[in-house]
A = this chain, B = another copy of it.
Amino acid sequence: MDDDRLASLETRVQKVEDELAILRLLHSYGPLVDSGSTVEAAALWTEGGTYEFSDGDEVARLEAPLDLEKLYSSDFHQSLIATGSAHLTGPPVMTIDGDRAQAVAYSFVVVRDGDRWLVLRAAINHWSLIRSSVGWRVERRRNRVLNGSEESRRLMRKVAD
């Protein structure tokens, strides 16, 4: 019976550690992209992992690592870094199921404008995560700008799954 209790505790503690590890992964993203740590930021994804985001009326679909490295090296992104920016990932709602996990959180791009900071972009995100040999990685991240679209609300509703 003690063995059952030990095994049960080990499973529960593993799950808690997984949740904290995923928090760490998600909250590393901002400081990496805002400091120009392009390779490290793209390496938060699995190879072949995707980042989909709304871009005006279109949806861009980028693949890790090369497309993401290109994104974070772009003139637009580099100008955010030079101006002073925070890619803030809000506190997520997470569900872990063995070697897979889901997370939902808001994100904000906050950029300096003279002696104030503006919210240049506010979005909702849904991440599909997978445990790899080097720890948790993003397999798919979907990001939709907060403009009242049905697609943005569909991602939000995933917190109730």
Contact = CB atoms under 8 A, between A and B. Distances in A.
A104 interface: yes
Interface stretch (A45-53, A65-73, A82-90, A132-140): A82-90
Q: Which of A24, A84, A108 has the most CB of B within 10 A?
A: A84
A105 B27 contact: yes
State the copy count for this chain: 3
B91 A89 contact: yes
B148 A83 contact: yes
Interface of A: 2-3, 5-6, 9-10, 12-13, 16-17, 19-20, 23-24, 27-28, 30-32, 34-37, 40, 81-86, 88-94, 104-106, 108, 110, 112, 116-122, 124, 145-149, 152-154, 156-160
